[in-house]
Structure 1
Amino acid sequence: MKAIILAAGRGERLRPLTDTTPKPLLQAGGRPLIVWHLQRLAAAGWYEVVINHAHLGEKIEAALGDGSAFGLRIAYSPEPPGALETAGGIAAALPLLGTQPFLALNGDIWCDWDVLLAHRIGRALDRRRAHLVLVDNPPHHPGGDFCLDGEGEPLRTAGANRGGALTYAGIGVFWPEFFAGVAAGATMKLRPLLDNGIAHKIVTGERHRGRWVDVGTAERLTELDMELARAP
């Protein structure tokens, strides 16, 4: 199984930090956010990782190289200025991801979810399907995204009158066919694909109860940095 780390975002809410440093290279706990992902993947036996990029992408390639420093092989999927959004970026990278299920990780999160689970999930998924990791709603996203009746059960879209909604963690396992309807080079968000998949009951999920941080602001980056610095 391959993994893709989504690293093409501009990081508007993190400006001015991201004016000169791409968001995945911002540091927390003494290392760039994306390096936490790479080291976790390598420790779990991954060999091949794809990274998409747009804003200051040349700095990401310069910092990470071919991945050999992490025991990995990194391939890059560059995007035009402004990027292609999540679904468009993944669709553009499909030629690098192969024909089997793959793990997708947002480059601007920190999470202790066990990436080894992706292999079991991939083996269990039928073609065209997707599986999302969900977390309890953070203060900045109290309404959540999806409802989960049980581990591995089809998701439901969160509605105004529905309780029990959870937030998409930016971690998912996908079959390439899930993105078959996205034209090459198209700019497209992931949510419409997920909503369509949920309507057809081909998107399942699980709830992660461990640590997860969406590093979307300078304040959350500082909090995570302090937390990781204190960790043994």
Structure 2
Amino acid sequence: MRALVFAAGLGERMRPLTDHTPKPLLEAGGKPLIAWHLEKLAAMGVTEVVVNTSWLAQRFPEVLGDGARWGLRLHYSYEGPVPLETGGGMLHALPLLGDAPFLAVNGDIWTDCDFAALPREPRGDAHLVLVDNPVHHPEGDFGLDPAGGVTAAGAPRLTYSGIGVYRAGVLKDWRDTVEGEPGTPPRFRLAPLLRRAMARGAVTGEHHAGQWTDVGTPERLLALDRQLRAPSA
């Protein structure tokens, strides 16, 4: 299995911290946020990881190198000066990901979710990890039914963690779903394609009740750093 780490965001809410450092390279607990993911991916046997980049793209190879220190081979998918959003970024990275299902994770989250426990072969187009709704996102994103199906509506509503296992087929006929002119290279969000797949019952999921942080503000980064440095962390 290969993996994709979304790391191309501009990190605007994290300024001035992200003026010179991309958000996934900001440190918590003594290491870059993205390094926590790379360690877990290597531990589960992943060897090829694609990191999509845009803002301060040159900083990633400077800090991470070729991935050898984790036993990984890193591939950098540069999207240009304007990030291509989640859907466009995934589409842009597909040539590096191959045809098999792959794990995708946002580079600006921290979690104790066990990546190795996720299905290597999702039943449909995607398998998503959902978490309890954080204070800053109380309405949630999707519903999760008792059989493990993820729905665009319904209760209980949970928040997408930014962790999922995908098949390339989730992007099939993406132009039929994306509104407006996506540009060249295409820039679009993944969520509408996921909702399309949900409508045909092609998205499963699970509820992760453990630790998860969307590191979207300097305050959340500081709180996470303190948590990870605490003796009991």
Same fold (TM > 0.5): yes
Gaps of 5+ in 1: none
* CA distance, structure 2, for counterparts of residue 146 and residue 49 of structure 1: 27
| Alignment CA distance shift 1:18-1:105 (3 Å) | same
* CA distance, structure 1, for counterparts of residue 121 and residue 173 of structure 2: 23
Listed one character per residue, the Cα deviations across residues 164-215 of structure 1 (whole Å, up to 9, x for unaligned) are 1100000010001111234672101111111111112111111001100000
RMSD value, Cα: 1.4
Shift of 1:124: 4.4
3-state SS of paired residue (1:57): coil
Letter matched to residue 134 of structure 1:
L
Q: Which residue of 2 aligns with 1:139?
A: 135
* CA distance, structure 2, for counterparts of residue 188 and residue 170 of structure 1: 16
Whether 2:220 is the aligned partner of 1:220: answer yes
Whether 2:146 is the aligned partner of 1:154: answer no
* CA distance, structure 2, for counterparts of residue 173 and residue 125 of structure 1: 10
Shift of 1:122: 2.7
Does the 8 Å CA contact 1:49/1:74 hold for their aligned counterparts? yes
Q: Which residue of 2 aligns with 1:125?
A: 123
Does the 8 Å CA contact 2:123/2:202 hold for their aligned counterparts? no
Listed one character per residue, the Cα deviations across residues 92-138 of structure 1 (whole Å, up to 9, x for unaligned) are 000000100000000000011111123xx233424xx1110000000
Q: Which residue of 1 aligns with 2:6?
A: 6
Whether 2:158 is the aligned partner of 1:166: answer yes
* CA distance, structure 2, for counterparts of residue 43 and residue 163 of structure 1: 35
3-state SS of paired residue (1:204): strand
Q: Which residue of 1 aligns with 2:28?
A: 28
Q: Deviating runs (4+, > 3 A) in structure 1?
A: none
Listed one character per residue, the Cα deviations across residues 35-61 of structure 1 (whole Å, up to 9, x for unaligned) are 010111112221111100000010011
Output aligned runs, 1:1-232, within 5 Å.
1-118=1-118, 121-126=119-124, 129-150=125-146, 153-158=148-153, 162-182=154-174, 185-230=185-230, 231-232=232-233
* CA distance, structure 2, for counterparts of residue 221 and residue 4 of structure 1: 22
3-state SS of paired residue (1:173): strand
Gaps of 5+ in 2: 176-183
Shift of 1:163: 4.0
Does the 8 Å CA contact 1:88/1:182 hold for their aligned counterparts? no
Letter matched to residue 72 of structure 2:
L
3-state SS of paired residue (1:83): coil
Size of the alignment, in residue pairs?
224
Shift of 1:81: 1.1
Letter matched to residue 161 of structure 2:
A
Shift of 1:87: 0.7
Shift of 1:218: 0.4
TM-score, with normalisation over the residues of structure 1? 0.93
